[in-house]
Chains A and B, each alone.
Chain A
């Protein structure tokens, strides 16, 4: 499904002027607070009406100020997961889940209650009231409720923002399953590089109400200049790989992809699983000759594509078996080693920096198990 957004909207002193088109499975609207992410989602949902512009999702015109078309919220069939869950306090979890299902057109209720409840692990909560749920449980129910409305498009506005790290880790796998097992495209608002790197197939970067970049996740996260100062250390390559084998003796796993082989610690998924690995730019060492007597297990041959210096730091773009990988080193090292575009080098990555926390299940999963033909 293609989502095309081209809107101008004023909210007080804030001016939103955003235009992008995407057909990613999970599109992240990424940017700092106040960059207009939530406003865009509200415009897509129909909770706001744009001052000017056009929003088209899968051929359905949701709003077009040129023709005066405006589809009301309740007809848009978007599954909106709010940051604050917004479960109905007077209904039980089961009634909350059934709420959206009841309003979906009879012939288009693709979502199966049992499958969704199973996928989100909320079977034991069905008789409870939302007031008694933990934050993580509440958010899972909210996802289920949106999903059971059999939406044509899911909108998620920082669904993890109000949760602590443990609860985030609890929900992440469910979001991955949602992305991989349903055919419903997802628009996902976030300001966290870690979340976006793990979940997004495509990213739209927003800043002060404007789109500054958009494209596939692996391309965007390498562009360290797009990230805020605090988040820059989190940026880097996101590579699709396959678990080739487990090395039981040391608890290590071997991953393969065109960039070469990577040794990773603590990945407990079966061999053959497609995974995404995030290699942070700051975790890469650059050597001009193959290092020896080094504890780091991963040494990849690469070619320098470009260098961008910024103050004391230098962002080096490497070509590694056809994939681009960003490395961040000091300008001093860069000049000491005499690095320049076209020079063959070695990228050294500690296996420890690629532990389970930066390796997730991902890649293409063709079958749609939850939703029939949505």
Chain B
């Protein structure tokens, strides 16, 4: 079994980078994910179906297309990329931050879907009851809505994280495959399968990938159960 954990430094780097990218992708997209889910679940506005379509596009488009669009928009010469680099010093192209952005975009529809469903399941009469007890809209959201949708938020976070751990097409298109900077687990596995004698490394990383995914799923199961119990739903 020793060979299993006997990873080369490059392979360790890829594992660590993947975890970092996935965690950032998940956390950074969470506030926006909750906001968009709220808008889609409760908002009544012109262009709602357009917003819904845009959010879900990465789910149905080829990942390469998403990655290319990110390159056009957030690349060094892209309008948004140039603006962010000039004004805030945030650079996405060929950086691990770009990988995180690509992963966040790809995982966004999954996250929004999970949260939106849980918001739609909230009994709005409870919110009305909280209002009669003196809570204004913000307090109602914090003390009633948020705790009740927590299982959905956790599910959305885990889905986003898992998607980020496996994201390949958009990432490699947008930020390429640079060891130590943008070479995540899938990219590393892909690289290893392309060189002679890389089979053992590819298998090691594959097993680690499976282990992380399983771990994430199980953690989400435990968290969701605890949150559901906390929400009095079970």
Contact = CB atoms under 8 A, between A and B. Distances in A.
A131 B126 CA distance: 14
Interface string A323-352: 000000000000000000000000000000
Contact of A72 (B136, B144, B148): B136
Contacts of A76: 132
Contacts of B233: 89
A73 B231 contact: no
A90 B232 contact: yes
B49 to A, nearest CB: 26
A73 B128 CA distance: 9
Interface residues of B, number: 21
B134 interface: yes
A78 B129 CA distance: 11
B231 A90 contact: yes
Interface string A4-46: 0000000000000000000000000000000000000000011
Q: B133, B147, B233: which has the most chain A beta carbons within 10 Å?
A: B133
Interface in A132-164: 145-146, 149, 155
Interface in B134-175: 134-136, 139, 143-144, 147-148
Contact of A131 (B135, B139, B232): B232
User: What band does the interface of chain A fall in when counting residues whose beta carbon is under 8 Å from B?
Assistant: 20 to 34
A130 B232 contact: yes
A91 B229 CA distance: 11
Nearest to A129: B232
A74 B131 contact: yes
A155 B129 CA distance: 12
B132 A103 contact: no
B232 A100 contact: no
A278 B230 CA distance: 47
Contacts of B232: 88-91, 129-131
Contacts of B148: 89-90
A130 B139 CA distance: 21
Interface stretch (A79-87, A167-175, A199-207): A79-87
A149 B136 CA distance: 14
B134 A104 contact: yes
Contacts of B69: none
Contacts of B135: 74, 99, 103
A47 B127 CA distance: 11
A179 interface: no
A206 B78 CA distance: 67
Contacts of B130: 88, 99
B213 to A, nearest CB: 30
A183 interface: no
B48 to A, nearest CB: 24
A104 B143 CA distance: 16
Contacts of A149: 133-134
Contacts of B126: 86, 88-89
Contact of A90 (B132, B139, B230): B230
Contacts of A131: 232
A103 B231 CA distance: 21
Given A82-B125, A102-B134, A103-B139, 18 more contacts: A47-B132, A72-B136, A74-B134, A80-B129, A80-B132, A82-B129, A84-B125, A86-B126, A88-B144, A88-B232, A90-B147, A90-B148, A90-B232, A99-B135, A99-B143, A131-B232, A146-B133, A155-B132
Interface of B: 123, 125-126, 128-136, 139, 143-144, 147-148, 230-233
6 contacts: A74-B131, A74-B139, A75-B134, A90-B148, A90-B231, A100-B134
